[in-house]
Amino acid sequence: MITNKNDCWSEQNYTHLLKQTNKHLWRFIQHNSSVVSAEDVFLGIANVSKSDLQKLSYLYFILDEEVEKFIDKTAPSILKRLSKTSLTENKVLRGNIKGKINWSKTLSNRNAAGGDPSIFVCSQRSSIFDLPENRLLLFLLRRIMFICSSLTNSDFEKDETKLGELEEKEKWIDTVFRIGIKTNKLLKNPFVRKIGDMHDITHKTIFQAERVRGQTYSQLAKVAQTYYLMVNNPIDYLDIVLQGKTLEPLNKDTLYEIAVLFKLFETIKDNGWIEKKIALIGGGSTLVSRFTLGNKELKIYFQGIPKEFSLNSKYGPLMNLYGMSDRLRRPDLVLEVLEGNKKNFYIIEVKRSDKRTYLVDGAYKLFGYLKDFESIKNPNVNLYGILVGWSNIQKLEMVTESEIYLSSWSNLENIYDFIIKKEMR
């Protein structure tokens, strides 16, 4: 990645942050990301919800190089030379001849019809494409089509996106679009109508495809085996694929935001908390994690706010009055701490900068959030703020309790540790 000379990050800073976040990046699936290799990936996915586990499995299946190769080369090649079997049928024709005349049957049919000389019985051969291996091909194409549609929320029958518009784009969502468009085109092949339906796959159907002559059917069986594992054992499947690749943010500011988020995860875990809920970042929910320790609970929101904030916003109604959606006003992170009927909220604003001007802007943005949501405060509910810059924020000799905390990246762990320990008292 090319580094702007005015950027507060050097190439080394960027690489270091990527390395630090690498083991958690499997949780990141925002559209503004691309596929990269991964060496050390955190695989604690047992607490991921069923829907998130399915979405994660679907995503990495579609981004598999073998699946893209299957759509680009294997499936088109198979459709050009579909395996088939021949069927010979005897047909009774009047006044015309198609195929080889079967004279013995012709004479017997003429006799039965009173000696009609216009009757001929002809042997005709036809090709049958409705074979198990071809049904497997059609099944996979349809499932790939379904997965692409579910990941992109698109109807590829109606979508007018052109392949040329997507070829040079790096985001994973563009790769899924490309595969979806190509798959939709393959499903329009006229031979597809000659193949019957397969409603599920088994080891037997995969083995049958493997035994068909030709390398293309072996490649079909390979993708089918991957699909079978992904559907029936998603955790085992992800355990394998996440060792080799993950998604990384294409935007540096986003990378810094999730680095700040992951640093919070690690500090909480280091203090003995147990993560009970794991959600995908960029998935359907802004609540990305839930930790417990005894009767205490921590919730973390990424680019979203708790329901209490939405219901008690001071400026939300004013913005809506002028047609400016208050939904666009989202803190980067919110930490919620619960114990009985007591709650503490920490709004975390992330500013990837070392410039005082931008850091001050970030501070005032944080002050605005605190003012906007101050009505949630009562004897049992408190509201705090944390500004995280990159550098050039003075490090205090001792961290003390405050309504607002300011920190550079280098001191963030100390600030987090102080806050988490304070909440454990």
Residue 324: per-residue pLDDT: 80
Per-residue pLDDT in tens (0 to 9) along the chain, 425 residues: 445 667 999 999 988 898 888 778 888 887 777 776 654 454 455 567 788 889 989 999 999 999 999 999 999 999 988 877 655 667 788 878 877 888 988 899 988 888 898 999 888 675 677 888 889 999 999 999 999 999 998 888 877 677 777 776 778 899 999 999 999 999 999 888 888 888 889 999 899 888 876 788 899 999 999 999 999 988 888 888 887 677 778 789 999 999 999 999 999 999 999 999 888 888 778 999 999 999 999 999 999 999 999 899 998 888 888 888 656 568 999 999 999 999 999 999 999 999 999 999 999 999 999 999 999 999 999 999 999 999 999 999 899 999 999 999 999 999 999 999 999 98
Q: What is the pLDDT of residue 121?
A: 87
Q: Rounded distance, CA 404 to CA 385, Å? A: 5
| Partners of 343 in beta bridges | 338, 381
> How many angstroms separate the CA atoms of 16 and 91, rounded?
76
CATH code matching the domain that covers 250-424, chosen among 3.40.50, 3.40.1350, 3.40.5, 3.40.91: 3.40.91
The widest CA-to-CA distance across the chain, in whole angstroms, is 115
- Which pLDDT value is given to residue 5? 63
Q: What is the pLDDT of residue 226?
A: 96
Q: Where are the domains of the chain?
A: 44-81+131-241, 85-128, 250-424
